[in-house]
Chains A and B, each alone.
Chain A
Amino acid sequence: MFNVSVGRASSLLSEIIDRRIILNVPDVKLLDIKTDEFHLEECLPEKSDGIFMISSICFEHELQGKASLIFSAKKIRKFIDLCIKNDETEECYELDFSDIDFDVVKEMGNIVLNSVVGEVGNLLNLKLNYTLPQVQIYNGADFYEEVDSHYSHILILNITFLIEGTRIEGAILVHLTLNSFNDIIEKIKKIKDELYE
């Protein structure tokens, strides 16, 4: 299910930056917030300095949750430059982002997260309404503290974009309420039963 949706997101990103993107097969983990320990730093394959730029949208209606596209802040500059077709910037580790940078990441996050979550909705025949996307800089602990307590599970998709030789690691987190998690499991079970009837 997530291979399909992440694959589509990858193809959309290729369209945006007009370069070939190789995306690894997502490694999907499911955590129970009550019992499993979660550190945002561990979502990204590369050791990060703990500062992240996170683009998020919440969804509601037939599923309730929050999807977040996470990049290490020091890597996001390259991604932004690729999006706005600026080939001249050097590697830059400053955490000084303009309104335009935030707008670019918000729009990219909106496209990627809509693709991932929307395709899951299409596959399971569930309708979703989205809130406006948001972009913020977090350190890992702040993000964890802000996560709404009514979510019970986190789906973690580790993704690595290889954009013409540039390796940009990111992750997609999907927080789900217990009801929504159970609804997804129930829907998948129903689809499986229908397939093998």
Chain B
Amino acid sequence: MLKILIVDDSIFAQKVTANLINKYLNDTEISYATDGLEGFNKYKEIKPDYVFLDLLMPKISGIELTKMIKEYDANAKIIILTADVQKNVQEEVVSHGVLLFVNKPFNDEKARLICELIRSKK
């Protein structure tokens, strides 16, 4: 069972992400958090195999959460899903050791490629 945590303040975005992951990966257990603080607590509780993380969120931003998770677990596999298209933001986030930086919208093609990558790392 592959444990996945989706952290996004939009329930709509959570559902789109989860549906697409389930389309390309079997046997997943998906958990959700709607802000950075809840995301960190859920990470410690669940210890997910992969985290799909938005950047612009209440309480703790995605960048801060990335740093916190990486400090807690240097091997954490974080995939950023964000609407932010700024190159400097991408460079900053990637420097914190995330697995992938993907611009929203999350669609079929992006989901297929990411899920192939996840399957190949199993």
Contact = CB atoms under 8 A, between A and B. Distances in A.
Interface residues of A, number: 25
B104 interface: yes
Most buried by A among B11, B57, B105: B105
B10 A122 contact: no
- Interface size bracket, B side: 10 to 19
Contact of A133 (B56, B104, B108): B56
Given A16-B105, A132-B58, A133-B56, A84 B12 contact: yes
B13 A107 contact: yes
A115 B83 contact: yes
Contacts of A118: 84-86
Interface in B59-87: 83-87
A111 B105 contact: yes
B12 A104 contact: yes
A132 B10 contact: no
Interface in B1-37: 9-13
A84 B105 CA distance: 13
A60 to B, nearest CB: 13
A130 B105 CA distance: 18
Contacts of B89: 127
A110 interface: yes
A102 to B, nearest CB: 10
A195 interface: no
B107 interface: yes
A121 B56 contact: no
Contacts of A110: 10, 56, 83, 104
A148 interface: no
Given A15-B107, A16-B105, A110-B83, A103 B12 contact: yes
Interface of B: 9-13, 56-58, 83-89, 104-105, 107-108
10 contacts: A8-B85, A12-B104, A16-B105, A16-B107, A18-B108, A104-B12, A118-B86, A132-B9, A132-B56, A133-B56
Given A15-B105, A127-B86, 16 more contacts: A16-B105, A16-B107, A18-B108, A103-B10, A106-B10, A110-B56, A110-B83, A115-B83, A118-B84, A118-B85, A119-B85, A121-B86, A122-B86, A132-B9, A132-B56, A132-B57
